[in-house]
């Protein structure tokens, strides 16, 4: 009788379908990690390459991060436009993994770089983006953007984040059908929360509309255009490249007109040049945190970024 029970138990164990492993997922930056973590809640958790306080514009992988890529089943990233230094490790270390470049998704609303609107006349910065591709061979591939004309800071448009939740859920569902219902439901709830937050921010920033501001880094146009804000100028272009003298002189002239509401710095970038430009102008300096430098990584980080951005702009608007 005991022998029969053992045989039956072994047969049942052999006949039961093996439970599929949850995909091992790696995300490039904290906002993408947060969206991915929302989708995976209750199933698993993604790993993060870049901690929130680190600029994505140039970076060298640590051994632990290289190992994470080697073991990944899926890498979710903005794309080469933001982190060109990550493209080669994906090809070599994560060659067998899926690569989900969110900026390439059909549902992503993309904006072109607007450097032509704040163009330097000479100086020692990178020059026109249309010409940059021909000159790129002379630059270090580990710094700056890929310069294909698309501004990669697309996570600052909450409608992109809503779309990406569904894209990530679909990709994970295809790899892990057993948990597809969880991924889909998580994405739907996350999109609803972000839509509600978007409506709240839109109402809150009414007092900032029509009040021009300047920034160190031209990184906010997705947020600006979604909420009707007005950038007057920046120290650095969208790729955080060093500005030339003509660009700085033009910004000083702009400040001299006296209608700039405030200037914004970022916690992850050296903003000494901005402080030099605005010195003596009486322009208040505030902080915007588009990467979530002051927030613990996890599912709640993305909404915290939006709220912190809204806080900064609301303070500027008085």
| Helix, strand, or coil (residue 268) | coil
Out of 30-34, 219-223, 264-268, 275-279, least confident range:
275-279
Distances (CA, A) of 185 to 157, 177, 191: 22, 13, 10
Q: DSSP class of residue 89? A: H
**And the tokens for 35?**
């969206």
**Beta carbons of 84 and 39 less than 8 angstroms apart:** no
In the chain, % of residues over pLDDT 70: 81
- Indicate the class that CATH gives domain 25-104+145-198: alpha beta
Mean pLDDT value across the chain: 83
CA distance linking residue 66 with residue 161, whole number of Å: 27
Does the pTM surpass 0.85? The reply is no
How much is the average pLDDT of 297-309?
Answer: 97
Distances (CA, A) of 293 to 158, 245, 288, 301, 317: 18, 30, 10, 10, 23
Give me the count of residues in the chain.
318
What pLDDT shows up at residue 309? 96
Backbone angles phi, psi at 59, to 5 degrees: -165, 150
What pLDDT shows up at residue 132? 32
CA distance linking residue 295 with residue 304, whole number of Å: 7
CA distance linking residue 40 with residue 27, whole number of Å: 12
Out of 17-21, 288-292, 300-304, least confident range:
17-21
What pLDDT shows up at residue 129? 33
**27: which strand partners?**
48, 76
Max intra-chain CA distance, the chain: 95
Q: What is the pLDDT of residues 22-50, one digit of tens each?
A: 999 999 999 999 999 999 999 999 999 99
Q: What CATH number labels 206-316?
A: 3.40.50.1980
Q: What is the pLDDT of residues 199-215, one digit of tens each?
A: 999 999 999 999 999 88
Out of 29-43, 120-134, 172-186, 279-293, least confident range:
120-134
Backbone angles phi, psi at 157, to 5 degrees: -95, 110
CA 197 to chain centre: 18
What pLDDT shows up at residue 238? 62
Residue 121 has pLDDT above 60, yes or no: no
Residue 87 has pLDDT above 50, yes or no: yes
CA distance linking residue 66 with residue 85, whole number of Å: 13
How much is the average pLDDT of 231-251?
Answer: 78
How much is the average pLDDT of 60-79?
Answer: 96
Q: What is the pLDDT of residues 3-29, one digit of tens each?
A: 444 444 443 443 434 456 899 999 999
How much is the average pLDDT of 237-258?
Answer: 76
CA distance linking residue 149 with residue 133, whole number of Å: 10
Same CATH topology for 25-104+145-198 and 206-316: the answer is: yes
CA distance linking residue 232 with residue 143, whole number of Å: 26
**Beta carbons of 213 and 264 less than 8 angstroms apart:** yes
Closest to 290 (Cα-Cα) out of 271, 267, 272, 274:
267
Concatenated DSSP letters of 144-189: S---SSEE--GGGSHHHHHHHHHHHHHHHHHH-GGGHHHHHHHHHH
Model confidence at 120, in pLDDT bands (50, 70, 90)? very low
| Helix, strand, or coil (residue 234) | strand
CA distance linking residue 116 with residue 315, whole number of Å: 29
Model confidence at 299, in pLDDT bands (50, 70, 90)? very high
What pLDDT shows up at residue 16? 38
Q: Hey, where are the domains in the chain? A: 25-104+145-198, 206-316
**And the tokens for 172?**
């994970």
Question: In this predicted model, which residue has the larger pLDDT, 82 or 124?
Answer: 82
Strands 25-27 and 74-77 come out as parallel
């Amino acid at each position: 009788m005991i022998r029969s029970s053992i045989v039956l138990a072994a047969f049942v164990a052999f006949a039961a379908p093996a439970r599929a492993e949850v995909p091992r997922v790696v995300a490039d930056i904290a906002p993408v990690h947060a969206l991915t973590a929302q989708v995976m809640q209750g199933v698993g958790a993604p790993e993060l390459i870049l901690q929130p306080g680190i600029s994505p514009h140039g970076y060298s992988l640590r051994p632990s991060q290289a190992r994470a890529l080697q073991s990944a089943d899926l890498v979710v990233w903005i794309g080469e436009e933001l982190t060109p230094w990550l493209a080669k490790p994906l090809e070599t270390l994560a060659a067998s993994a899926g690569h989900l470049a969110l900026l390439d998704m059909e549902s992503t609303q993309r904006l072109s770089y607007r450097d032509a609107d704040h163009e330097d006349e000479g100086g020692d910065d990178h020059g026109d983006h249309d010409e940059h591709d021909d000159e790129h061979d002379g630059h270090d591939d580990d710094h700056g953007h890929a310069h294909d004309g698309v501004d990669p800071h697309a996570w600052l448009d909450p409608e992109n984040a809503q779309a990406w939740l569904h894209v990530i859920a679909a990709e994970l569902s295809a790899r892990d059908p057993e948990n597809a219902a969880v991924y889909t439901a998580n994405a739907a709830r996350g999109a609803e929360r972000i839509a509600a937050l978007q409506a709240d921010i839109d109402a809150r920033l009414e007092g900032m509309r029509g009040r021009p501001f300047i920034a160190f880094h031209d990184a906010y146009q997705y947020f600006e255009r979604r909420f009707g804000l007005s950038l007057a100028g920046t120290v650095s272009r969208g790729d955080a490249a060093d500005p030339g003298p003509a660009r700085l002189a033009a910004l000083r002239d702009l400040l001299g007109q006296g209608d700039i509401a405030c200037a914004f710095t970022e916690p992850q970038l050296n903003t000494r040049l901005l402080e030099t430009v605005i010195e003596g102008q009486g322009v208040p300096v505030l902080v915007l945190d588009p990467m979530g430098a002051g927030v613990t990584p996890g599912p709640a980080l993305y909404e915290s970024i939006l709220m912190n951005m809204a806080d900064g702009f609301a303070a500027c608007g008085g």
